[in-house]
Chains A and B, each alone.
Chain A
């Protein structure tokens, strides 16, 4: 019992962080599945959602601010795709990725400019921010809500991709871009939808994440973004269940490592785990095996 009580805070934190990572990792994996693009700006979209919330909640009631944050983040994701990625559709892959790094720079620097470089305190969401006691471990309620909400959203997304027409189009485009276009699928609108879904989930993830760790800085998106991308690669990039499982594994392992006192290596361990997996399974846990055409 005392072992459980001692390790419970770490596991709870791990599951909660894992859920938040999962919501962001989906954005990476879906974009990669369709465009074969590492969307480096995604972590900063997540940060931007946090900033929107900070600025909107200063003047609006939460009931209005939260939907508005979701809407603005979706709009941001959509605009980034239209402005920075669409013009480069026929350019080499490297150019698009550099464009993503450029957008990431731009978002961070804009945030820096508007906040004046100061960390902003994230507003307290009633109910979610309350503390609860579970089996002797004290934590915020959001810690318990996160994994549940994550699972609900992921199941919803899976159903959406499996049973709707847009979902089918997405699968087709990710399978074969050119053929899908020949079949009359409006590739551009499918890509926009992907970005909209990814940004929406990132916005939800940011609500949960910043309620737990209530401080937003221009670089808040950097490390979580990188780790979520690692989670997506870990699970096999392009696969949604893979990203979710990868995110949970990374979230939990990271906190256990910290609990063991190896705090210097908590980030390094994430990467070490990734490298080991890649060497054993070069395309991640659930990734499709790539075949070389000769």
Chain B
């Protein structure tokens, strides 16, 4: 019995090894784009929506003409498990697959952790929605097509101070999470610069009891609850705010722009406002065709959280794919080094607006953030006026 089992185990391993050896070699007329996204863990939901954008873009344009030759685009997906310690090996897997360029990741922490692996391999990476400045700072191989936290934090602080008219804000972020921690820090800087006052708290990993945090915010008489955390925690926070009958509005960054939040807030007495990259309805053609695509496949529908609301990160994923293709076309080659050199000057007109990169860190030149509010009666987003700074 034992020997048979041992034999079976060994066979499985050999088979696995063979499968690994077989895959991942790119042949002459294909070009590989790596997608470095979480499909599980804290940011699994967001990562899946971002991946959907890339998948859809790939289905729209599965080939690309580079230097007079038509290539099939192979998209290689790797799950980085939203975890910084799994990021290097997930990144190495992409490097091994011979990617010309890498897209992702949702969540700044994993991008920072995976960055050096891409740098060592000389493969350029394009961040889709990782907004923490540290992603591209000091890493010439990391670029990004979204706005940054100092900008987003300022926009949110201005919105809270001027539009909502509050002077005291409660800020909550997850301990050890680069994205929410960074954004909260920049929000506090901007808010206090305007003359407001902030109460700042952090919750530990694995926490699902937000009773005390909401109670703290109530006890401190805060006018707004700012918590740009992952959508998993967001559901619980919304639920708890409603349960305690708190009257303050909730404010958050781009992560909350997700139908998960809409579902959690639907039919409840709560006001949720977010800043984001793309408001649904801005490009009617894109919206209707991606909705048809999402509804056409049950897996896609499940990955999008069960309905066909177009998340901003999906639109960003879509743009990132075309941005990558444009860079390769500009380079006239699929060689990572040449693509990297071409990226600095690549420009496209995406559904989320024009995309071009600055020359210092390779960050996107963007000065507009869209503001959306949840309509709790219908479970949809209402677009408010976009905010432009600088």
Which A residues are within 8 Å of any B CB, using their own CB? 6, 9-10, 13, 17, 112, 116-119, 121, 131, 133, 138-140, 212-215, 217-220, 222-224, 255, 258-259, 261, 263-264, 266-267
Pair A222/B206 contact, Cβ less than 8 Å: yes
Which B residues touch A121, using CB under 8 A? 235, 263-264
A-B residue pairs in contact (CB < 8 Å), sample of 9: A9-B211, A118-B305, A131-B243, A138-B244, A138-B245, A218-B40, A259-B212, A266-B203, A266-B204
Distance (whole angstroms) from the CB of B176 to the closest CB of chain A: 10
Which A residues touch B239, using CB under 8 A? 213-215
Pair A215/B235 contact, Cβ less than 8 Å: yes
Q: Which of A17, A224, A258, A267 has the most CB of B within 10 A?
A: A258
Interface status of B53 (Cβ within 8 A of chain A): no
Pair B232/A10 contact, Cβ less than 8 Å: no
Interface status of B197 (Cβ within 8 A of chain A): no
Interface status of B207 (Cβ within 8 A of chain A): yes
Pair B215/A259 contact, Cβ less than 8 Å: yes
Pair B244/A223 contact, Cβ less than 8 Å: no
A133 to B48, CA, bound (A): 39
A131 to B216, CA, bound (A): 19
Query: Known interface pairs A112-B40, A119-B232. Does A263 touch B219 (Cβ–Cβ under 8 Å)?
Result: no
Count B interface residues, CB 8 Å: 40
Query: Known interface pairs A116-B39, A255-B211. Does A213 touch B236 (Cβ–Cβ under 8 Å)?
Result: yes
Pair A215/B236 contact, Cβ less than 8 Å: yes
Pair B232/A215 contact, Cβ less than 8 Å: yes
Which B residues touch A117, using CB under 8 A? 38-41, 44-45, 48
Which B residues touch A267, using CB under 8 A? 204, 206-207
A118 to B52, CA, bound (A): 14
A6 to B217, CA, bound (A): 11
Pair A261/B201 contact, Cβ less than 8 Å: yes
Q: Which of A10, A116, A133 has the most CB of B within 10 A?
A: A116
Instruction: State which of A214, A220, A263 has its C-beta within 8 Å of the C-beta of B213.
Output: A263
Which A residues touch B305, using CB under 8 A? 118
Which B residues touch A212, using CB under 8 A? 209
Pair B215/A118 contact, Cβ less than 8 Å: no
A219 to B206, CA, bound (A): 8
Interface 0/1 of B259-303, CB less than 8 Å to A: 010011000000000000000000000000000000000000011
A151 to B254, CA, bound (A): 44
Q: Which of A6, A118, A266, A267 has the most CB of B within 10 A?
A: A118
A121 to B208, CA, bound (A): 13
A215 to B261, CA, bound (A): 12
Pair B208/A264 contact, Cβ less than 8 Å: no
Which A residues touch B303, using CB under 8 A? 116
Interface status of B231 (Cβ within 8 A of chain A): yes
Interface status of B13 (Cβ within 8 A of chain A): no
Pair B206/A214 contact, Cβ less than 8 Å: no
Interface status of B175 (Cβ within 8 A of chain A): yes
